[in-house]
Chains A and B, each alone.
Chain A
Amino acid sequence: MSGREEVLARIRAALAYDGETAHPAITGPGPAVDSSGASTGAQFQTWGDLEPGPLLDLLAERLADYRAIVRRAAPAELAAALGAALADRGARRIVVAPGLDLPALPDGIKAVPDDGIPAHDLDAFDGVVTGAAVAIAETGTIVLDGSPDQGRRAITLVPDYHLCIVHAAQVVELVPEAITRLAAGADRPLTWISGPSATSDIELKRVEGVHGPRTLEVILVGP
């Protein structure tokens, strides 16, 4: 018997039922049940209720709480905010997600669209600029889904500085809302980012920046 058949046979024996007939239709999470399997009628919260203004404020607060740098900008101010962020960072040469529509950058900053740059070469860039798929206000999280404005995973991993542009329409309040928005592209490579890389492995002292970008900066574009 193959490993596959052996493991499946053990599972069916352990559960002591016929695997072909006893299964229900596969569904999402149902209402909460107690230990006997009876529904308690309780349901976790799946939608937030914040208005757009407070929603962006919460995202900004939670991003900053986990040590991301946050800039707010109206849509017309994006180019200025981007230039200011890169100038403050002292970035001279940055990699950019290939499908990201960047406004003109200040003189002296060279933007290189990613075309499959090898990891070793990514290490030599001063930073990376991308968009985002979804941002979650409650947890201060940005989700990248590999769309052209976000690029492949390596470009937001190897450089030491990640500048991420988030638009108001991409912001949700709760984790379940993000999961629902991402469902259609669940098979894309997804990266959820909450603040810069961090460790607490030595005496539980938080150290920011181990292997991923040590600085995460977010430009929050909205009213």
Chain B
Amino acid sequence: MSTYLGMPTAPKGVGHLRGSEPFPAAARRALADTQLRHNLAMATATIRAKRAAVVAEVPDWEELRAAGQAAKAGAMRHLDRYLEQLETQVQARGGTVHWATDAVAANRIVTDLVAATGSREAVKVKSMVTDEIGLNEALAAAGITAHETDLAELIIQLGHDRPSHILVPAIHRNRAEIREIFLREMAAVDPALTDDPAALAEAARLYLRRRFLAARVGISGANFAIAETGTLCVVESEGNGRMCLTLPDTLITVMGIEKVLPSWQDLAVFLQLLPRSSTGERMNPYTSMWTGVTPGDGPRQFHLVLLDNGRTAALADETGRQALHCIRCSACLNVCPVYERVGGHAYGSVYPGPIGAVLSPQLTGVEENASLPYASSLCGACYDVCPVKIDIPSVLVHLRARHVDEARKERRLPHAEAIAMAAASWVMAEPRRYSAAQRAGRLGRPLGRRGRIGQLPPLLSAWAQARDSPVPPSQTFRQWWRDEHRKPS
């Protein structure tokens, strides 16, 4: 049994792991946005169907999932050794490795590295981890402009917006909104720009091309890092990743420590699992792999920043640890009935959906994302599609228990649910009390309309915020039974 003692979590005041309000409040506002719900329903249904079709093509899918799970579990079990091996291999090939305990340290390392090149600009590959640590804001504070180059991230950056999905971060925006953003923010854009997706993509190509050709510093995340060989791997579609990884003189890659995989052969598993689970393709258009620096080809300087930022706190929890196996495919978002209705912003963290609900609270400490483990109906669809078999429902339940235990330890006031359970226990322990309580329940009948009650009185009101209750029947079961058995048969 783990103790969760004293392992530092991700610091406050930097990055994007915490929302400004609890999930229920954010979700209520998101649910009122009918355009958002329409966009999300279309998007998630489309990706679900694509994924299902390409997964069904693979006869050994379940064996691949099991192998992926085993490789990740093995990597976590011996994480220190694999990270040291990765460091040795990267350095042997001319790269430099930096270790960052948290977001503040990582931002400082990257800012110093960019500043040392003399460049005030950098081009960025879409990366979850640099958004997690708020790198763009940290660079801006140091007078360095980071240009997002993935089309969706560009839409988000130019729209002064937040991403709402791991794979397609601008999924909450439709084409008309994107056209408006481009017309407003791109200086040289053709004013006759239409909202045809091909025309919008062309506008982004023109806008970014000169930045790519002039870029001296590239910044990326990593999908995988191979300890055995020191190889980094980035999976993408547009070619913006290849541009950032190939053309600049200096490449800085930030990766969470959980991204390391033991062996080269592990890629045989993950390069099948990830594209099919993520975009629903047999293979994504471009995958880049590099090991240190290669004279005459690509960047002349390579820096790898290994980031903790709460990951070791998750590692210390034997049940929660499996959230670190996540390969950021986003399949769990697309099947989640909660995500489909509220979208990514409601989760408050750069990691939304079911995986976010188990990952964010572990990175920040459960108390700082306490509502997220409850943002689920525990239907289990996320577990079924997870390419590395993360048992998200079990981790959700486990984190709920941790939340309750930690609240009890700190002797905070019990919340309504605990009071209700204690009261129910007293009532149900004695038949006379139970019977009286059931009769009293009928008093609620005048509150109902069309068989449902929307609001309940205090203590129960919090529970009823997101749920309708059935109107109590006119008779209790006991009264009905007595009446039935009085009748002559």
- On A, residues with C-beta under 8 Å from B are 2-4, 6-8, 10-15, 19, 22-24, 26-30, 32-35, 37, 40, 42-46, 62, 66, 116, 119-120, 123, 136, 138-141, 146, 152-154, 157-158, 175-176, 179-180, 183, 186-205, 207, 209-213
Contacts and interface: CB of A to CB of B under 8 A. Distances in A.
Interface string B170-204: 11001100100000000000000000011011001
A3 B77 CA distance: 21
15 contacts: A3-B98, A27-B263, A32-B63, A32-B66, A42-B63, A192-B271, A199-B237, A201-B151, A203-B39, A204-B43, A207-B197, A210-B204, A210-B237, A211-B238, A211-B239
B271 A11 contact: no
Nearest to A146: B297
B298 A202 contact: no
B268 A176 contact: yes
Interface string B79-116: 11111110000000100001111000100000000000
B368 interface: no
Nearest to A45: B60
B291 A186 contact: yes
Contact of B287 (A33, A43, A191): A191
A117 B7 CA distance: 51
A152 B155 contact: no
A6 B264 contact: no
Interface of A is mostly: loop
Contact of A197 (B239, B246, B292, B313): B239
Given A33-B66, A141-B283, A186 B231 contact: yes
Contacts of A189: 288-291, 294, 297-298
A155 to B, nearest CB: 10
Nearest to A202: B197
Contacts of B178: 202
The 8 closest A-B pairs by CB, nearest first: A212-B239, A32-B66, A211-B239, A176-B268, A28-B265, A14-B316, A192-B287, A139-B283
A29 B231 contact: no
B315 A198 contact: no
Contacts of B435: none
A137 to B, nearest CB: 10
A35 B70 CA distance: 8
Interface of B: 7-8, 39, 42-43, 46-47, 59-60, 62-64, 66-67, 69-71, 73, 77-85, 93, 98-101, 105, 149-152, 155, 168, 170-171, 174-175, 178, 197-198, 200-201, 204-205, 208-209, 212-213, 226-231, 237-240, 242-243, 245-247, 257, 262-269, 271-272, 275, 279, 281-292, 294, 296-298, 306, 308, 312-313, 315-316, 389, 391
A8 B84 contact: yes
B101 A6 contact: yes
Contacts of B246: 153-154, 157
A11 B79 CA distance: 7
Nearest to A28: B265
B80 A11 contact: yes
Given A11-B80, A29-B263, A139-B283, A42 B242 contact: no
Given A193-B286, A199-B237, A175 B80 contact: no
Given A153-B298, A210-B238, A200 B279 contact: yes
Contacts of A202: 151, 170, 175, 178, 197, 200-201
Contacts of A23: 78, 81
A58 to B, nearest CB: 11
B242 A153 contact: yes
Contacts of A201: 150-152, 155, 168, 170, 201
Contact of B101 (A3, A192, A193, A203): A3
B268 A46 contact: yes
Given A8-B80, A203-B174, A212 B282 contact: no
Given A29-B71, A152-B296, A211-B243, A198 B101 contact: no
B294 A34 contact: no
B201 A199 contact: yes
A79 B288 CA distance: 30
A13 B201 contact: no
Contacts of A197: 237-239, 285-286
